[in-house]
Structure 1
Amino acid sequence: MTTSFLLIVQIILVVILVIAVLLQKSSSIGLGAYSGSNESVFGAKGPASFLAKMTFLIGFLFVANTITLGYMYSSAKEESVVDNMVESTNVVAPTATTTPMAPTPAVK
């Protein structure tokens, strides 16, 4: 249950992080041109410092959540995929009581 909650939080963090990166000012205008006049809301410097701080915070939360999810998934699964493959490749040889298939007649 906790892993599914953290997975949902991970998806939300990804969407917010992408939006925060796209709203930042760059050499080409990007999506910041569609946000209107943000200078009155965020102060005289504009949204640059606010968005940079938010992007750093969201990025840090994303990395922490990723590490937590990785730890939880690795501790929940005690055997690896390779262990499962080794067990499934132990094929039993046919016994002597089995009859071989009769050859098929040649078609003319």
Structure 2
Amino acid sequence: MIITAIKIICIILAIILIVLVILQQGKGSDLGSAFGGGSSNSMFGAVGPSNFLGKLTAFIAFLFLVLNLAQAVLLKNANTETLFTEEEIQEATNVVEIPIE
């Protein structure tokens, strides 16, 4: 149940991360300037969107990585099972000596 929730959150964070990277202002003409990223100072303040979007992108990336690591640990613990019982291991390790003629 929790693994499914983490998977859904990771997918949403990945989509948000892609959008944030695309919207960031680059050196040339990019998609961020098409949405007003180059001249819009009212939403992000006087500094512009690069500082705010950079910090937000780093935070979302951090959350994405932490959730993926947690998901890996949870999946490892959920899929760990004993393949052999102790008795089967004892039987397999008993070596039968065959006399050489």
**What's the TM-score once normalised by structure 1's chain length?**
0.69
The equivalent of 1:38 in structure 2 is 40
Secondary structure at 2:63's aligned position in 1? helix
Displacement after TM superposition at 1:28 (Å): 2.7
- Work out the CA distance in 2 between the residues paired with 1:26 and 1:54: 16
Runs in 1 of length 4+ with deviation above 6 angstroms? none
* Superposition map of 1:42-57 within 5 A: 42-57=44-59
Report which of the two structures shows the higher radius of gyration computed on alpha carbons: 1
> What 5-or-longer segments of structure 2 have no aligned partner?
84-101
- Secondary structure at 2:27's aligned position in 1? coil
Q: Map residues 49-68 of structure 1 onto 2, 5 A cutoff.
A: 49-68=51-70
Count of equivalent residues: 81
Matched residue, 2:89:
none
Q: Distance in 2 between matches of 1:78 and 1:16?
A: 32
Structure 1 spans left out of the alignment, 5+ residues: 84-108
Pairwise CA distance, 1:27: 2.0
Q: Distance in 1 between matches of 2:13 and 2:52?
A: 17
Shift of 1:42: 0.8
- Other-structure match for 2:6: 6
